[in-house]
């Protein structure tokens, strides 16, 4: 913002000695042409060194005195590290040139197509693959964080037996010995426990293993099992198909305990479709959510019904009954079974009547979505209703998964545990997963594993399972190993490694190849073998293979998959078997096991980014908690932070309680995946393990749980303590009807003041003028952008204690506000807080044109760029923190300590662990302590694209085109809620959005003129549901 | 007409005890620096000195680990550090006010306390200057604040109030130091002349700058003193006004107010007088200076505290009124939150100490009560610290966007740094008491009857009899 000339010394006297560096230089200096001399002056700022004349003795002493006095302060700088250039340049590596490789990663049964950014052979950042139908260039938050999992310094570095380090050859020899022993009886004592898979290669090799060992058995277990989806489809259709949603076509969506926007399979695909359907206007979709605990999906609902998980089925039956009765929907043999179904007690009648008529009014344009926590009958009934409403084939399609043999996980792991307990298992190979930690508590899996004579565990860490097994083999990360995967919609892709395994890891298929005695145990060959196809000439296959690797898609999704038909009789029969339990209440609490948005089932527990990421709904970091509704908490006199004990029969867990508005009464939400003991330095003893309460028969919810307070309390760290908007225009919202009436309702609430500027205003009309919009109507609050930003910008992690001090470093945060139906409820008012709606607002530096931070910085460390960015120059910053105080958005983050050195891996590592350093984006400065930092609009990406654009068209250069340049948050956002671009390009998407009716400047009335505008949230409530 | 003519009608009192003479004053003040230190001094000094050690240790740890050793966070990026800074600067106000402003207004009663107050100013400003220096994140780059020509061609940002602060406080420090030293010269010469050993003679002789007490010396001295007083007077107003700009020019609700400059100056005078009172009452009893620092002084100072305390109370009320009257919801909320939010305890401590406690001084009996004056002065010191804490922390902790709201918890290092700065202050002050005349000998003599050239003459009916052989009285500019 300052318009001043740099300090200049006087020029040399005419007769002064000439300093020259080359003959050209000398000639130029002697030249009488002033233009040439000027050119030279620009080239060599020689005068700054020239004291031969023009400086008086006194002036010299003044300068030197000050310089010496102040230079002594320079004594305490950090040491300088030397870097080494390549002595010999490797082929295919261009220093400082980013390359991208296509691959896939498994996300709870969905294969998400990725493009991974790689610098000199190090994968640093994960993006979605635009050509892949599962991702469309977008990702979810776990995919964003996967790169840190790769570089986890706590990963096992070599195989081990009973804690003793071994070479890989030793482990393989031991396995071969066991296999040879098993070969005698056809593998009668051999069991393999694997995670569910969508890899065709895995399925092929499994068959090969079973051919070699016909008596061996494969078991499947995942704590975040999706078995209910399969079982429901089996029940409804008699075959294994999985539903794929096309929510962009749905006008009415009813979610039954399904977090389809965050934790369920296909969340990226669903979020994209959902967001496309949420564009405010005539075609805007409406979302009804019925669920026990607040999820991201519930937070995006237009109407949300909090209902204990066990009552969701009754609700769906009542809804089906209403559809049958009032809207003559034909459910075949099911019609009779549901015709007289009653909604569970306490469910308002309009939740049945209005929802049914909304569904009936949108036949073929609605969707019922059932979560994987709900039993098979709920899935089957929803399939039947979707078929009857004509939604099948429109909003829901059905695709057969890669692995059709998978059986119910709970039954399967129970069978394995029983066999282990009975001594029938001589050799157990565990491929991935961590059953000792996450198998249901009633199985005592860990103890039984100890009784298996030979057990081999393939896992990334020496975790709880590895500790009990005879052998542990490090598992290769997805970014290190070859593989393949089939997406929900049938797209098949190749998983291509970005880097050699860092710690001698092996993939599941490589171990399976050993078991199958495959000709080549190399992952690459195994995957090629699967996809080669019989009789295809090598030339053709190699071309297809290269194309598959290059594009990231091997087999396209089928266009019009066949519609399976409903077997109504079986569904009705199974529904009739349902036993009504005793009603839940004070002495009969329900507990729900929730798939955690951050650590899933515990597999990401050692990921520091995810640990520090605030939970999307509760904003709790580094812990999980038992979610209790305000009314239940009052009845049981529980407060936030109280330790409670939950007991079911002989099993109990102790954990901290958290009062969560919107939680169903007498139902307690428990997140899986916490309380790990052998996760690593980051994840150990974070949160509370709730698996002991889980049983193989009731994986997802159970009642008959008693709650007692232990009397202790436990501190939780949150990134946001205050959840009311205080009536301020922060996340501004309106209903669709209000929006149609007053399109610019949002801008009216915070008008930009018309005042005379204090100083000369900058003209931004030439060159680039960067701007951003964030659409609150489509933002689901999923947190993907937060991790994307962290990964792109080398943002440090500070740890639980520092978060509780309010020192988290996220440049981009997602504010979550509860919106109470009663306008003046206080926090203590149970009725007002029991059932609030939620509003999300992602907030990073909004790049004010009149930035309050810039005026107050005493050293000019934060200044404006000609393109309107509010730049931070870290080298100049001395850390007075004045800018942070004067930032009305409070988006500036200060390095109070040296977070990289004082971080979560200490004290074992005095410095940033070597592998974690490999993740760092080389184009972004790693900030030292004492420096302020904040969102830069990914200035490194802007500059990178500018350089490319300048070199484009054979060096003639051009402007960056709209869409060529994306910030990290924008690129990751599965809802496409963030748009960034050049406002001077009047035709760009951003320029259009900056003129959108819903736009508003957050705190615009201060006169900051932010470049980031928000598009107000629009809800689409059903008028019949109101009043 | 004489300025020194007493106004009996309004009940003026003696400024020094009756029967004080030139000799007795010189003796009373000088002996403190010449006799061995009393035991009490050693106890106090060693205590203060060990706290100075705590300060150095805390600062060392701060430099080693970073600002994170304090409790500062986001949104409360300034907390005790800047609170301490403003508090110390405020305390440093009374000195110049007493020396310069009261000097220009011919308030003769200042002579007993001005040296004291000036010394306190210097030491308080030293303590104050520590905090902006150490609170920065990268101390080794703090010199970026200075306008030094450099090869990067970057100057400090002259728009930043923090930079104005650097200049304002350092100017104030320089002028105060000069003013103090110039005033000291005749007294240092007195000590030199009384010195019994050569070391004292050399040191004091050096510091006395060759003072011989000649007429010309006195003339130059008086003129220089007057000029410095005139220079210092605007500084009294400017320093704390500029300090208040740190807050007033920001956009933060609770900071962004035009009332801040006068409000800060009034608060500064208030806290400065309170600290002078605290120190004076201790020194007076320890060194038995009751003849020189009389009840009149105590009472006059208490009156000033009552006046400035009421001004401050008025400012507090006005802030609330303006916040309500502005109709700005953020501004309103900040003030409601101050009085009723999580920091209400700090706010009510402030109100009790700053507004309520000085109201006791409406009663003559209470304002002439030494123990009570001491207690109230301590209360005001505490209250003024809380005033700065309330302004800084409660405004920051809940500003515009509710999601960013937070709370500040001090750490052990916060506390030790603050206690340590008190230790440094008292260390310097105790050294001052031991080695420098703590009361301006030459100036005090000027208010003795002997200093009057017409001493002993009958020239005015009104003065008949009473003034003979008696010291000068508290005076007023309207003397007849």
Predicted pLDDT at A27: 60
Whether residues A892 and A756 fall in one domain: yes
Whether residues A413 and A320 fall in one domain: no
Residue A132 falls inside a structural domain: no
Boundary (domain end) residue, out of A74, A95, A119: A74
Which of A983, A796, A826, A995 lies closest to A896, judged by CA?
A796
Residue A136 near residue A272, CB atoms below 8 Å: yes
Size of interface A-B (CB pairs under 8 A): 210
CB distance from B197 to chain A under 8 Å?
no
**In chain A, what residues touch B135 (CB-CB under 8 Å)?**
880-881
Q: Which residues contact A799 (CB under 8 A, 6 or more apart)?
A: A612, A622, A903, A904
CB distance from B396 to chain A under 8 Å?
yes
State whether the Cα torsion A9-A15-A16-A19 is positive or negative.
Answer: positive
Residue B445 near residue B22, CB atoms below 8 Å: yes
Q: Which residues of chain A have pLDDT under 70?
A: 1-55, 70-85, 92, 821-832, 906-909, 1027
Q: Which residues contact A869 (CB under 8 A, 6 or more apart)?
A: A770, A847, A936, A937, A939, A942
Domain CATH for B76:
1.20.1630.10
Whether residues A184 and A280 fall in one domain: no
E-state strands within A93-179: 99-107, 110-119, 122-128, 160-161, 164-165
Whether residues A771 and A897 fall in one domain: yes
Q: Please, is A657 exposed, middle or buried when counting C-beta atoms within 10 Å of its C-beta (0-12, 13-18, 19+)?
A: buried
**In chain A, what residues touch B249 (CB-CB under 8 Å)?**
855-856
Question: How far is the C-alpha of B420 from the C-alpha of B58, rounded, in Å?
Answer: 8
Whether residues A391 and A409 fall in one domain: no
Q: Residue A855 is nearest to which of B73, B76, B159, comparing CB atoms?
A: B159
Predicted pLDDT at A249: 92
Whether residues A823 and A740 fall in one domain: yes
Question: How far is the C-alpha of A287 from the C-alpha of A274, rounded, in Å?
Answer: 9
Q: Chain A: residue nearest B61 by CA?
A: A897
Range of the domain at B180: 17-446
Closest CA–CA distance from residue B134 to any residue of chain A (Å): 10
Whether residues A317 and A429 fall in one domain: no
**In chain A, what residues touch B166 (CB-CB under 8 Å)?**
858
Q: Which residues contact B110 (CB under 8 A, 6 or more apart)?
A: B98, B99, B102, B103
Q: Which residues contact A966 (CB under 8 A, 6 or more apart)?
A: A941, A980
Residue B459 falls inside a structural domain: no
Question: How far is the C-alpha of B328 from the C-alpha of B336, rounded, in Å?
Answer: 12
The string of DSSP codes covering A621-673 is ES---EEE-HHHHHHTT--TTEEEEEEETTEEEEEEEEE-TTPPTTEEEEESS
Residue A146 falls inside a structural domain: no
Q: Tell me how many domains chain A contains.
A: 5
Residue A104 falls inside a structural domain: no
| Token pair listed for A367 | 């969707």
Whether residues A662 and A749 fall in one domain: no
Interchain pair A881, B77: CB under 8 A: yes
**Residues paired with A107 in a beta bridge:** A110
Whether residues A917 and A1005 fall in one domain: yes
Q: Tell me how many domains chain B contains.
A: 1
Residue B466 falls inside a structural domain: no
Q: Residue A896 is nearest to which of B63, B66, B398, comparing CB atoms?
A: B66
> CA A117: distance to chain centroid?
17
Question: How far is the C-alpha of B365 from the C-alpha of A40, rounded, in Å?
Answer: 82
Predicted pLDDT at A773: 95
Which of A282, A285, A281, A288 lies closest to A273, judged by CA?
A285
Closest CA–CA distance from residue A888 to any residue of chain B (Å): 6
Residue A927 near residue A901, CB atoms below 8 Å: no
Chain B, residues 315-344, CB within 8 A of chain A, namely 329-330, 333
Q: Mark B340-357 as b/e (b = at least 16 C-beta within 10 Å).
A: ebebeebbebbbebbbeb
Chain A, residues 703-722, CB within 8 A of chain B, namely 720-722
Predicted pLDDT at A79: 53
| Token pair listed for B136 | 């920065």
CB distance from A888 to chain B under 8 Å?
yes
> CA A525: distance to chain centroid?
32
Closest CA–CA distance from residue A784 to any residue of chain B (Å): 19
Residue A258 falls inside a structural domain: yes
Q: How far is CA A392 from CA A368, A397, A575, in A?
A: 10, 6, 22
Residue B64 near residue B432, CB atoms below 8 Å: no
Q: Chain B: residue nearest A808 by CA?
A: B74
Domain CATH for A357:
3.40.228.10
Whether residues A848 and A950 fall in one domain: yes
Residue with tokens 């078997």: A577
Q: What is the DSSP letter of A703?
A: E
Boundary (domain end) residue, out of A695, A718, A741: A718
Residue B165 falls inside a structural domain: yes
Range of the domain at A53: 1-74
Residue A428 falls inside a structural domain: yes
Reported as type and span, the H/E element at residue A312 is helix A312-327
Residue A563 falls inside a structural domain: no
Residue B289 near residue B283, CB atoms below 8 Å: yes
CB distance from A826 to chain B under 8 Å?
no
Closest CA–CA distance from residue A814 to any residue of chain B (Å): 9
**In chain A, what residues touch B250 (CB-CB under 8 Å)?**
852, 856, 885-886
Closest CA–CA distance from residue B121 to any residue of chain A (Å): 25
Residue A440 falls inside a structural domain: yes
Q: How many CB atoms lie within 10 A of CB A645?
A: 13
Reported as type and span, the H/E element at residue A764 is none
Residue B93 near residue B236, CB atoms below 8 Å: yes
Backbone angles phi, psi at A858, to 5 degrees: -75, -15
Backbone angles phi, psi at A741, to 5 degrees: -75, -45
Mutate to test the interface with A, among B134, B402, B406 (most CBs of A within 10 A): B402
Closest CA–CA distance from residue A719 to any residue of chain B (Å): 8
CB distance from B167 to chain A under 8 Å?
no
Whether residues A952 and A829 fall in one domain: yes
Residue A505 near residue A432, CB atoms below 8 Å: no
Residue B476 falls inside a structural domain: no
Boundary (domain end) residue, out of A399, A433, A452: A399
Residue A834 falls inside a structural domain: yes
pLDDT in tens, chain B (480 residues): 344 544 444 445 556 666 777 888 888 888 888 888 888 889 999 999 999 999 999 999 999 999 999 999 989 999 999 999 999 998 888 778 877 887 887 777 777 778 888 888 899 999 999 998 899 999 999 889 888 888 888 889 998 999 998 889 889 999 989 988 998 999 999 999 988 889 999 999 999 998 998 999 999 998 998 898 888 888 888 888 999 999 999 999 999 988 999 999 899 889 988 988 898 888 888 777 777 777 888 888 899 899 999 999 999 999 999 999 988 889 999 999 999 989 999 999 999 999 999 999 999 899 888 899 999 999 999 999 999 999 999 999 998 998 889 899 999 999 999 999 999 999 999 999 889 988 888 888 877 777 767 766 655 544 444 444 444 444 443 333
Interchain pair B143, A70: CB under 8 A: yes
Strands A589-594 vs A701-713: parallel, antiparallel or unpaired:
antiparallel
3-state secondary structure of A255: strand
Q: Chain B: residue nearest A879 by CA?
A: B137
Residue B151 falls inside a structural domain: yes
Interchain pair A806, B74: CB under 8 A: yes
Question: How far is the C-alpha of A284 from the C-alpha of A713, rounded, in Å?
Answer: 45
Taking the model in full, what pTM does it have? 0.87
Residue B473 falls inside a structural domain: no
Q: Between B161-194 and B114-134, two packed helices, what is the crossing angle to 10 degrees?
A: 140
Q: Please, is A637 exposed, middle or buried when counting C-beta atoms within 10 Å of its C-beta (0-12, 13-18, 19+)?
A: exposed
Q: Which residues contact A40 (CB under 8 A, 6 or more apart)?
A: A25, A28, A29
Domain CATH for A938:
3.30.70.20
Reported as type and span, the H/E element at residue A343 is none
Domain CATH for A475:
3.40.50.740
């Amino acid at each position: 913002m300052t318009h001043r000339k740099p300090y200049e010394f006087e020029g040399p006297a005419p007769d002064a000695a000439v300093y020259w560096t080359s003959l050209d230089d000398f000639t130029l200096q002697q030249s009488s042409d002033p233009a040439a001399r000027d050119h030279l002056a620009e080239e060599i700022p020689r005068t700054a060194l020239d004291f031969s004349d023009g400086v008086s003795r006194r002036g010299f002493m003044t300068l030197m005195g000050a310089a010496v006095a102040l230079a002594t302060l320079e004594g305490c700088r950090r040491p300088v590290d030397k870097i080494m250039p390549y002595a010999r340049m490797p082929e295919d590596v261009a220093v400082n040139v980013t390359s991208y490789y296509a691959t896939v990663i498994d996300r709870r049964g969905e294969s998400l197509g990725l493009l991974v950014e790689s610098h000199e052979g190090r994968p640093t950042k994960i993006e979605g693959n635009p050509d892949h139908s599962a991702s469309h260039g977008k990702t979810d938050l776990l995919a964003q964080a996967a790169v840190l999992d790769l570089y986890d310094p706590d990963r096992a570095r070599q195989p081990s037996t009973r804690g003793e380090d071994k070479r890989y050859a030793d482990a393989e020899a031991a396995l071969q010995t066991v296999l040879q022993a098993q070969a005698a009886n056809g593998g009668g004592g051999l069991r393999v426990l694997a995670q569910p898979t969508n890899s065709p290669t895995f399925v092929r090799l499994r068959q090969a293993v079973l051919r070699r060992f016909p008596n061996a058995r494969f078991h499947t277990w995942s704590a975040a099992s999706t078995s209910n989806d399969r079982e429901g489809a089996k029940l409804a259709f008699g075959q294994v198909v999985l539903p794929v949603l096309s929510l962009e076509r749905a006008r009415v969506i009813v979610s039954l305990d399904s977090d389809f926007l965050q934790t369920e399979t296909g969340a990226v695909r669903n979020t994209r479709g959902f967001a496309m359907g949420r564009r405010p206007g005539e075609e805007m979709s409406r979302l009804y959510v019925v669920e026990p605990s607040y999820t991201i999906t519930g937070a995006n609902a237009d109407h949300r019904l909090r209902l204990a998980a066990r009552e969701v089925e009754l609700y769906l039956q009542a809804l089906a009954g209403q559809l049958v009765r009032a809207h003559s929907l034909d459910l075949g043999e099911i019609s009779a079974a549901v015709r007289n179904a009653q909604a569970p007690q306490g469910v308002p009648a309009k939740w049945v009547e209005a929802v049914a008529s909304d569904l009936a009014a949108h036949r073929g344009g609605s969707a019922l979505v059932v979560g994987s926590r709900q039993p098979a009958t709920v899935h089957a009934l929803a399939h039947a209703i979707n078929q009857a409403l004509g939604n099948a084939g429109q909003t829901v399609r059905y695709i057969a998964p890669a692995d059709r043999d998978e059986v119910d996980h709970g039954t399967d792991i129970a069978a394995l545990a029983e066999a282990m307990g009975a001594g029938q298992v001589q050799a157990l190979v565990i491929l991935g997963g961590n059953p000792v930690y996450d198998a249901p508590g009633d199985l005592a899996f860990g103890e039984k594993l100890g009784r298996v004579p030979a057990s081999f565990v393939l896992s990334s860490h020496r975790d709880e399972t590895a500790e009990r097994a005879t052998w542990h083999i490090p598992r290769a990360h997805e970014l290190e190993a070859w593989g393949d995967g089939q997406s929900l919609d049938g797209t098949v892709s190749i998983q291509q490694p970005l880097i050699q395994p860092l710690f001698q890891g092996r993939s599941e298929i490589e171990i399976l190849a050993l078991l199958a005695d495959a000709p080549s145990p190399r992952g690459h060959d195994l995957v090629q073998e699967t996809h080669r196809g019989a009789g295809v000439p090598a030339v053709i296959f190699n071309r297809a293979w290269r194309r598959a690797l290059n594009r990231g898609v091997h087999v396209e999704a089928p266009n019009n998959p066949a519609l399976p038909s409903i077997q109504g009789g079986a569904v009705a029969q199974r529904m009739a078997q349902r036993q009504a339990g005793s009603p839940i209440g004070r002495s009969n609490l329900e507990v729900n096991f929730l798939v955690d948005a951050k650590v899933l089932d515990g597999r990401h527990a050692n990921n520091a980014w995810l640990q520090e990421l605030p939970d999307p709904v509760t904003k709790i970091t580094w812990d999980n908690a038992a979610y209790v509704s305000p009314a239940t908490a009052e009845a049981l006199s529980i407060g936030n932070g109280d330790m409670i004990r939950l007991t079911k029969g002989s099993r109990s867990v102790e954990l901290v309680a958290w009062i969560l508005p919107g939680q169903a009464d007498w139902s307690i939400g428990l997140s899986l995946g916490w309380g790990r003991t052998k996760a690593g330095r980051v994840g150990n003893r974070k949160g509370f393990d709730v698996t002991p309460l889980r049983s193989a028969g009731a994986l997802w919810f159970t009642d008959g749980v008693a709650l007692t307070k232990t009397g202790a309390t436990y501190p939780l760290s949150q990134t946001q303590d205050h959840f009311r908007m205080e009536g301020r225009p922060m996340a501004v919202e309106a209903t669709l009807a209000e929006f149609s009436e007053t399109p610019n309702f949002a801008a009216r609430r915070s008008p930009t003041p018309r005042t005379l500027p204090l100083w000369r205003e900058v003209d931004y009309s030439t060159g680039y003028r960067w701007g951003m919009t964030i659409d609150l109507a489509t933002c689901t609050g999923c947190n993907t952008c937060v991790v994307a930003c962290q990964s792109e910008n080398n943002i440090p992690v500070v740890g639980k204690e520092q978060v509780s001090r309010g020192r988290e470093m996220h440049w981009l945060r997602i504010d979550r506000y509860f919106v109470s139906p009663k306008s003046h409820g206080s926090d203590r008012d149970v009725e007002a807080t029991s059932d609030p709606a939620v509003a999300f607002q992602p907030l990073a530096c909004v790049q004010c044109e009149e930035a309050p931070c810039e005026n107050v910085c005493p050293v000019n460390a934060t200044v404006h760029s000609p393109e309107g960015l509010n730049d931070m120059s870290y080298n100049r910053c001395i850390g007075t923190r004045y800018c942070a105080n004067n930032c009305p958005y409070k988006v500036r983050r200060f390095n109070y300590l040296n977070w990289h050195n004082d971080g979560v891996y200490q004290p074992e590592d005095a410095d940033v662990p070597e592998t974690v350093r490999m993740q760092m984006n080389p184009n972004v400065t790693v900030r030292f302590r004492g420096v302020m930092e904040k969102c830069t609009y990914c200035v490194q990406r802007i500059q990178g694209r500018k350089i490319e654009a300048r070199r484009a068209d054979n060096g003639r250069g051009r402007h960056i085109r709209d869409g060529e340049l994306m910030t990290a948050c924008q690129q990751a956002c599965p809802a496409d809620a963030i748009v960034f671009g050049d406002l001077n390009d009047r035709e760009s998407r951003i320029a259009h959005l900056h003129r959108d009716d819903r736009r508003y400047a957050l705190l615009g009335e201060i006169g900051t003129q932010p470049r980031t505008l928000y598009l107000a949230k629009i809800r689409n409530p059903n008028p019949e549901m109101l009043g | 007409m004489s300025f020194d003519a007493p106004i009996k009608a309004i009940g003026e009192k003696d400024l020094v005890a009756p029967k004080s003479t030139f000799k007795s004053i010189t003796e009373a003040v000088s002996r403190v620096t010449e006799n061995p230190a009393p035991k009490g001094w050693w106890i106090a000094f060693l205590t203060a000195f060990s706290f100075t050690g705590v300060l150095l240790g805390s600062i060392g740890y701060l430099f080693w680990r970073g600002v994170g050793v304090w409790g500062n966070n986001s949104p409360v990026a300034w907390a005790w550090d800047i609170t301490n800074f403003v508090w110390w600067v405020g305390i440093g106000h009374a000195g110049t006010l007493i020396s310069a402003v009261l000097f220009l207004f011919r308030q003769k009663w200042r002579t007993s306390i001005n040296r004291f107050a000036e010394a306190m100013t210097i030491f308080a400003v030293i303590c104050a200057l520590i905090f902006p220096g150490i609170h920065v994140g990268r101390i080794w780059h703090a010199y970026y604040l200075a306008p030094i020509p450099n090869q990067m061609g970057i100057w400090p940002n002259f728009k930043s109030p923090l930079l104005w602060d650097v200049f304002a406080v350092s100017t104030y420090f320089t002028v105060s130091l000069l003013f103090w030293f110039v005033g000291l010269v005749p007294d240092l010469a007195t000590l030199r002349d009384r010195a019994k050993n050569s070391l004292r003679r050399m040191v004091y002789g050096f510091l006395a700058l060759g003072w011989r007490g000649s007429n010309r010396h006195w003339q130059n001295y008086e003129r220089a003193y007057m000029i410095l007083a005139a220079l210092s007077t605007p500084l009294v107003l400017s320093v704390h006004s500029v300090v208040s700009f740190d807050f007033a020019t920001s956009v933060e609700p609770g900071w962004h107010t035009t009332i801040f400059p006068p409000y800060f100056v009034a608060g500064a005078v208030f806290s400065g007088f309170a600290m002078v009172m605290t120190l004076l009452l201790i020194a007076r009893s320890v060194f038995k200076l009751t003849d020189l620092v009389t009840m009149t002084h105590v009472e006059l100072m208490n009156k000033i505290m009552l006046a400035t305390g009421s001004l401050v109370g008025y400012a507090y009320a006005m802030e609330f009124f303006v916040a309500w009257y502005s109709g700005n919801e953020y501004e309103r909320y900040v003030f409601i939150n101050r009085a009723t939010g999580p920091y209400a305890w700090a706010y009510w401590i402030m109100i009790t100490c700053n507004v309520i406690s000085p109201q006791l001084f409406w009663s003559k009996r209470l304002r002439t009560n030494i123990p009570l004056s001491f207690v109230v002065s301590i209360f005001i010191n505490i209250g003024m610290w809380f005033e700065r804490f309330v302004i800084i922390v409660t405004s920051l902790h809940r500003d515009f966007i509710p999601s960013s709201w937070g709370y500040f918890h001090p750490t052990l290092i916060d506390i030790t740094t603050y206690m340590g700065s008190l230790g440094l202050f008292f260390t310097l002050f105790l050294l001052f008491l031991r080695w420098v005349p703590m009361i301006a000998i030459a100036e005090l003599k000027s208010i003795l009857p002997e200093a009057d050239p017409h001493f002993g003459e009958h020239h005015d009916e009104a003065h008949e009899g009473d003034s003979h052989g008696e010291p000068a009285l508290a005076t007023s500019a309207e003397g007849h």
